[in-house]
Chains A and B, each alone.
Chain A
Amino acid sequence: MTLATSPSDTTTPERAPRARRLPPPAVTFGLTWLGLMILCAIFADLIRPYDITQMDLSARLSPPGTPGHWLGTDELGRDVLSRLIQSVRVSLVIAFGATLISAVFGTTLGFLAAQFRGVVEHVVVMLADFQAALPFLIMSLAVLAFFGSSMVLLVCLMGFYGWERYARIARGLAISAGAQGYAAAVVQLGATPRRVYLHHILPNVASTLIVSMTLTFPEIILMESGLSFLGLGVQPPDTSLGNMVGFGREYLTNAPWIMLGPAVVIMLTTLSISLVGDWLRDRLDPTIR
């Protein structure tokens, strides 16, 4: 949350066997689960057995294993599996959109700070200070409660999460790239700053930025599900993983399956991204090589 540099989460160069820190089965599991979730999100409409709002009042609160409702039904007789599939789609779309916004916004600010230094740099540092002073959940809570929650607002708001991380990385890498021959050479050749940054510096720092995206992504999923759990994120009739847990909470004692399904999905997804992200970082990140 601050601009202070953190120690990279790996080993010193001389004793760094690539990708040995985490056993590959864990990574394989992570990749498989993520693949499954992405397929789920893409084909949600096809694989969903029921419509998410379709009620079956005669089969309310059926336990998992009931024929036709393999993960049970909720208090209105809606199929938990169908809602879960739709929730995966909604939560992944929000997290994906927000991660992209945050990466583009942060990288742009970082490059601007590197290019212009001086005042621009101070402004970026001040923005980062601001973000560090007000925990993101608190800020989003205030904004969403007062403006009313909508999908667009939610994605944009989440898009402000973690930008300072990209800004710090992009600024640092751009400044060091500027000191290297290749950037100076294209500047000498008369390339515009825009061309230098987008065509020459960006490809060289992309892998580090991608690794930061794997860090931000699960945090955004947790943030969105936290807000939805509090009733401030995704609004009914639409459904998201956090929103399902939030409503399932009311039936914790007599129908825990309503909340356990989405809870397990959130955990496995964030866990998988962390495992895969760690592994990617060990393989891709040039700053720790």
Chain B
Amino acid sequence: MIRFVSIRLLRALITVLAVMTFAFVVLRMSGDPAEVLLGPDVPQSVIDAFRAEWGLDAPLWQQYLSYLGAIFTGDFGVSMRDRSPALELVLERVPATLMLTIPALLLKLGIGIPAGVYAALHRDSAVDRGVILLAILGFTIPSFVLGLVLVLIFAVTLGVLPSGGMGTWQHAILPAITISIGGIGILARFSRSAMIEVLGQPYIRTASAKGVSWRDVVRGHALPNAAVPIVTIVGFMVGSLIAGAVVVETIFSWPGIGRLLIVSVSNRDLAVVQCILLLIAAVMVVSNLIVDLLYGWLDPRLRAQPAH
């Protein structure tokens, strides 16, 4: 077990390092931020001074080493735009994004899993077919289409909800619903198939045959076993709490991480983009790590394996 955990930890660290390196190399190789930030008509001396100030004139490997060194001391760089620390800029946007993604996650879990389990328990019924159809519709509709259609209906035509911006809790309703629909579809479908697979297993028949009531079979035998694959998907959803709202934030002009990313990317604000990518990757890696460790807890077969 200790070996398993330490290997996973090492892999997680390597992954985060790889993302940092990728972000650094891609962003530095793609052109000079000085020209974009300062504009085309600036004299060469100003550009040179800017490059020297931000350390852009050093060789790439030197820039990379000093970037890594700074990160280990908690220095994530300074925004080239307004010269405030990048980490601060990024972290102050996190609550806004979570205000959308956490309610959306709760909707996904609260609707998706029960719908899938119910459909599996009533297989081939009208409800089951309805759930399948809605689930497929849910994850094939692009979020930007869904968002705009919701705006068209509830903001433009009915005028009952605001079409964008952040203010009262009503402002969060449409974006949160838009984010959740795809995930509800995926979870419903996934839990349905996981549940159907489990219900076909011999141990379910054994439990029913020895007289356990159906309700207890489902609760005590089917659900815990079906939970193992569902946890993978839920882990992925938790991992994208920060990153999962880019498009929706754009549609609803919501001032979260996604908006900041789009704006910083078009401004070539290197430190901010790097900081966001690092945050996204770290959240994702940590939640994948937790999922892997949860497997051991949920699935006793993994626990029983001798650590060697």
Contact = CB atoms under 8 A, between A and B. Distances in A.
Given A135-B243, A137-B246, A146-B26, A14 B284 contact: no
Contact of B132 (A15, A22, A245): A22
B67 interface: no
A226 B246 CA distance: 10
Contacts of B31: 146-147
Interface string B181-193: 0000000011001
A6 B186 CA distance: 13
A249 B148 contact: yes
Interface residues of A, number: 54
A270 B140 contact: yes
Contacts of B229: 6-7
A188 interface: no
Contacts of A225: 142, 144
Contact of B200 (A15, A135, A246, A266): A15
Contact of B268 (A143, A146, A222, A249): A146
Given A143-B26, A146-B31, 13 more contacts: A7-B197, A8-B197, A11-B197, A129-B15, A133-B284, A134-B19, A137-B246, A141-B246, A143-B30, A146-B30, A226-B143, A226-B247, A263-B145
Contacts of A135: 240, 243-244, 280, 284
B22 A134 contact: yes
A218 B136 CA distance: 12
Interface in A238-279: 242, 245-246, 249, 252-253, 256, 259, 263, 266-267, 270-271, 274-275, 278
Interface in B170-217: 189-190, 193-194, 196-197, 200-201
A223 B49 CA distance: 40
B265 interface: yes
A267 B141 contact: yes
A271 B138 CA distance: 10
Contact of A230 (B149, B193, B262): B262
A10 B261 contact: no
The 3 residue pairs across chains A and B that have the minimum distance between CB atoms = A12-B200, A146-B30, A145-B265
Interface of A: 1-2, 4, 6-12, 14-15, 21-23, 125-126, 129-130, 132-135, 137-139, 141-143, 145-147, 218, 222, 225-226, 229-230, 242, 245-246, 249, 252-253, 256, 259, 263, 266-267, 270-271, 274-275, 278
B230 to A, nearest CB: 9
A116 B99 CA distance: 47
B234 interface: no
A130 B136 CA distance: 28
B97 interface: no
Nearest to B243: A135
A184 to B, nearest CB: 29
